[in-house]
């Protein structure tokens, strides 16, 4: 079972590297949940749409992953995303720690953890440095991302 779960992590990030959101979507359980500092709680349908939205818009995305570990029905890895952020056109190198729970050969829980203030410093520049640690700024980022996801889902589904 551990080898299967390790393979799932490798398949997921290999698909991510190839911007193959459909392959990533197939690895999620129908009852999956996702959490990260921006998208705080997504259902299976929402996380699948999130990856489609993000990868469809990606222009210069580079993904690497390492330190894959599995212990029974849970696993983890470290991954990095390098890309140019939307409207600011600023370079971002986001370092993420991912944890997973598996059930029935699928990802049932996926949590990505990264420093949101560090991300705002890269993505937003000086305003991110000065203001990115404020909860109201981080909540604005979350709200904007959620709105974008809802609009994307309305259009595509």
Residue 29 lies in a domain: yes
The answer to whether residue 128 is domain-embedded is: no
Q: Taking the model in full, what pTM does it have?
A: 0.93
Number of domains in the chain: 1
The reply to whether 157 falls in a domain is: no
Q: Which residue has the higher pLDDT, 25 or 4?
A: 25
Beta strands in the chain (DSSP E): 28-35, 42-43, 62-71, 74-85, 90-103, 106-113
pLDDT given for residue 7 in this prediction: 96
- Res. 102: pLDDT tops 70: yes
49 occurs within a structural domain? yes
pLDDT at residue 1 tops 70 = no
The pLDDT value recorded for residue 156 is 87
Task: Classify residue 54: in a domain, yes or no.
Answer: yes
Burial of 124 (0-12, 13-18, 19+ CB in 10 A): buried
What is the share, in percent, of the chain residues with pLDDT greater than 90? 78
Quick check: is 14 in a domain?
yes
pLDDT score, position 69? 97
Question: How far apart are alpha carbons 61 and 110 in whole angstroms?
Answer: 21
Please state, in angstroms and as integers, the Cα–Cα distance from residue 153 to each residue in 30, 45, 87, 140, 147, following that order: 17, 9, 21, 20, 10
pLDDT tens track for 106-128: 999 999 999 999 999 998 888 87
CA distances from 2 to 87, 98, 145 (A): 41, 17, 34
More confident residue, 103 or 129: 103
Write out the residue range of the structural domain in which residue 28 sits.
Answer: 2-114
CATH number for the domain that contains residue 42 = 3.10.450.50
In this structure, the number of other CB atoms found within 10 A of the CB of residue 40 comes to 11
Q: What is the pLDDT of residues 19-69, one digit of tens each?
A: 999 999 999 999 999 999 999 999 999 999 999 999 999 889 999 999 999
Domain annotation covers residue 148: no
Query: For residue 119, is it within any domain?
Result: no
């Amino acid at each position: 079972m551990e080898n299967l779960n390790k393979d799932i992590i490798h398949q997921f990030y290999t698909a991510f590297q190839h911007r193959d959101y459909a392959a990533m979507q197939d690895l999620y359980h129908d009852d999956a949940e996702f959490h990260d500092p921006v998208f705080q709680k997504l259902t299976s349908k929402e996380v699948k749409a999130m990856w489609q939205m993000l990868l469809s818009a990606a222009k210069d995305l580079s993904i690497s992953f390492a330190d894959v570990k599995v212990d029974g029905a849970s696993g983890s890895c470290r991954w990095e995303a390098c890309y140019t952020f939307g409207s600011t056109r600023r370079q971002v190198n986001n370092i993420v720690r991912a944890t997973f729970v598996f059930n029935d050969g699928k990802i049932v829980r996926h949590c990505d953890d990264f420093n949101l203030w560090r991300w705002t410093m890269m993505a937003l520049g000086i305003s991110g440095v000065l203001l990115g640690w404020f909860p109201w700024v981080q909540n604005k980022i979350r709200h904007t991302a959620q709105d974008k996801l809802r609009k994307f889902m309305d259009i595509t589904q």
